[in-house]
With several copies, the nearest count.
Chain A
């Protein structure tokens, strides 16, 4: 008997799963009991029967993300360690309404930097322009603030999540 937890839209769902035979499992989700026969597993594809009925599914694992393709739709779940740890994470996020750094929302190239370290900028003011797949994306100031550090130069490549600029609130 094992337990797994998944987060979707900040709600946690618990799944209890138990091996009850050769290639047969029993899972309990939302108080519903599902008997799963695993007929075949080929790469991302799982051929199963759930409560007797056949499905050809795909499961793609990327870090803690799970992409489940079932009956044509792909569902994105996020595996979390337990109910408690996740809720704590969410709380952490909620407490912060100002991030002191701007992270790159995508991989791409810095094509233009409009500001310099020390500049005072107003909310929504364009700070820099990123380019990816031939389209430009403008990164703007989240609030009125002061530019502390700019970590890249024009024409630098950045990855998703790289800190681009650090800031402090103007009224701090």
Chain B
């Protein structure tokens, strides 16, 4: 096993990986950008290194700086988390060349799956069904317009290196195509350092269902069943669950089997996810393979009892999978919601500020993955994902009961979050029925506004009490220039 592992990430996923490293008795090394000086992952890491700079290109995407730190701190391995460099084949290659283990698949697997066009070719060879599209290298406006016409509108413009909804645009009519392509390229360049895009048929009323894969260096590849991640807002996943209530046992077997075949086609090692689009007739199409850990891995962990991140480290260290496919059972139901720094009152625009207090719900079968802490600033430089809330119960119905309870008890202040929106989703009758297609939000929340909240008398009384005390305090101390320095440590209360 390794002795020391560097986490090339930030936020909730860095915290989660640091825990896994430390549980295994290893030393966890964190990196941080300048705006992240006070971030939670530093608090928990065993060693920390600063990469001066703000934007991702200078910091968490800075391959050179990260490799320097990895060498200086003498780590055995680097875990990239998700986002940032997690699907960057060049990075994986350079890590390996430096004699350090990259916790993930081979650079070749990342490269072939990371280029969606290449991935589709491989899947076609492996007889995994794919969605019609155009991945040609001629990306002139004219060609793209022609190809879009062939595939048929609506069309999805997607970033080849993409993921997480970045660099993804729907085009309903030809006149929108050029602007969409331009915007997708810009977003892709920012997010992934690569502005290659491709076109794909946009399936209406589809579900997004993905299969978690684990492969070891001895050639064993197993799946940990599926997750359904259909509920997305602007291609950003909001709520994920396992199992999908849409799949029959037979279709589940088929889709999981297709996923294992897809992984075998690239001799896949470590954790990965094969994403499918499933239409209402249960036809499923390969969408893409994410050659990394995913945000929503927690719902798989809760329904299978497998700690995926600890296994990633063990696999990377050369250990074989400790169980065979038939020892993996999918049990109960788990749902995750993502807490974003987005203000639903203000059209989901990003919200920034310092977290003033944070009291996530604590209870039976409630899991919190936190990237924040009271006192931590939320800046505009990185992804707005602050935390994840995951629940487990024996059935979907009781898991929803628990999720409602938990969302209603999520105490956070200092920034605005999408919690009021999440509350509405889990209370929506169509969600409860399981009618969760990828256009769920467009369909049921297109003209949504934050509902008027009924405020208990106690909240008003507490606000007034607080004013009363503050007025009394300032009268009492009127002779002293008590609050002239807003950062004075003794007026922090």
- Complex Cα distance A90/B179, Å? 38
Contact B469 A41 (CB under 8 A): yes
- Contact of B433 with A by CB under 8 A: no
Contact A58 B411 (CB under 8 A): yes
- Complex Cα distance A8/B187, Å? 37
Contact A23 B487 (CB under 8 A): yes
Write the chain A residue with the least CB distance to B356.
Answer: A60
Contact B187 A39 (CB under 8 A): no
Contact B382 A2 (CB under 8 A): no
Contact B48 A53 (CB under 8 A): yes
| Mask of A1-45 contacts with B, CB within 8 angstroms, 1/0 | 010101011000101010100110101011010101011111111
Contact A133 B383 (CB under 8 A): yes
Contact A58 B50 (CB under 8 A): no
Contact A6 B350 (CB under 8 A): no
- Contact of B149 with A by CB under 8 A: no
Of listed B36, B42, B166, B353, residue having the most chain A CB within 10 A:
B42
Q: How many residues of A contact B (CB 8 A)?
A: 70
Q: Which of B349, B356, B458 contacts A70 (CB 8 A)?
A: B458
Contact A49 B37 (CB under 8 A): yes
Contact A79 B467 (CB under 8 A): yes
Measured between beta carbons, the chain B residues less than 8 angstroms from A34 are 457-458, 461
Give chain B's interface secondary structure class: mixed
- Contact of A94 with B by CB under 8 A: no
| Mask of A130-166 contacts with B, CB within 8 angstroms, 1/0 | 0111111100000000000000000000000000000
- Complex Cα distance A144/B82, Å? 43
Q: How far is the CB of B332 from chain A (nearest CB, A)?
A: 24
- Contact of A48 with B by CB under 8 A: yes
Measured between beta carbons, the chain A residues less than 8 angstroms from B455 are 8, 13, 75, 77
Contact B460 A46 (CB under 8 A): no
Give chain A's interface secondary structure class: strand
Contact B463 A68 (CB under 8 A): yes
Contact B465 A134 (CB under 8 A): no
Measured between beta carbons, the chain A residues less than 8 angstroms from B412 are 74
- Contact of B308 with A by CB under 8 A: no
- Complex Cα distance A87/B374, Å? 35
- Contact of B186 with A by CB under 8 A: yes
- Contact of B324 with A by CB under 8 A: no
Write the chain B residue with the least CB distance to A137.
Answer: B349
Contact B375 A45 (CB under 8 A): yes
- Contact of B341 with A by CB under 8 A: yes
Write the chain B residue with the least CB distance to A59.
Answer: B466
- Contact of B322 with A by CB under 8 A: no
- Contact of B490 with A by CB under 8 A: yes
With A29-B457, A42-B492 as known contacts, state yes or no: A72 contacts B411, CB within 8 Å: yes
Contact A66 B42 (CB under 8 A): no
Q: How far is the CB of A43 from chain B (nearest CB, A)?
A: 5
> Which of A's residues lie within 8 Å of B, judged by CB?
2, 4, 6, 8-9, 13, 15, 17, 19, 22-23, 25, 27, 29-30, 32, 34, 36, 38-50, 52-62, 66-77, 79, 105-108, 111-112, 126, 129, 131-137
Residue contacts A-B, CB under 8 angstroms, 18 given: A8-B452, A9-B453, A29-B460, A34-B458, A43-B357, A44-B357, A52-B37, A54-B38, A54-B42, A56-B43, A69-B359, A72-B44, A105-B346, A106-B346, A107-B350, A132-B349, A132-B380, A134-B166
